[in-house]
Amino acid sequence: MQANTPDANGAKGTIVFINASAALKGFAASGAFAMACQAKTGLAQSMARELMPQGIHVVNVPIDAAVGWRQGDGSPAHRLAGTTTDDNMADPDRTAEMYLQLYRQHRSAWAFEVVLRPWNAKW
């Protein structure tokens, strides 16, 4: 990382932690998973405090949703589960766009944490 040349914005790279909703809230019967997710958030925070002053962007992205995908015929996979709403799950392409936006952020306005969830999530 020390030899990494800054880009046009002065940044030296981006580290993205992909996390689960358990990073924000624990659920019954999933204590070990919640502990691991919250530990990952703590690691991301520590790394951000250490690396961001060196020009390395660190981001924690809890995804508070199931991630949908398309079947071979182009239909949404979650339709097979009985849902009729096309956008009630996180779309992998839109999720990837968010990661790219985080990567492209100017260092004067870096985000540390972005929570992704679909529009109709109950939280």
Interval 76-104: pLDDT, tens: 666 555 555 666 778 888 899 999 999 99
How many CB atoms neighbour CB 48 within 10 A? 20
* pTM summary value: 0.80
Q: What is the H or E stretch that residue 16 is in? A: strand 13-20
Kindly list the structural domains of the chain, giving each domain's residue range(s) and its CATH number in brackets, ordered by start: 13-109 (3.40.50.720)
CB 67 within 8 A of CB 92: yes
- pLDDT tens for 4-49 read 677 776 668 999 999 999 999 999 999 999 999 999 999 999 999 9
Tokens 């540390």 sit on residue: 112
Residue 72 tokens read as: 């071979």
Which among 14, 49, 50, 17 is positioned nearest to 36, based on CA atoms? 17
- Residue 104's identity, in one-letter code, is R
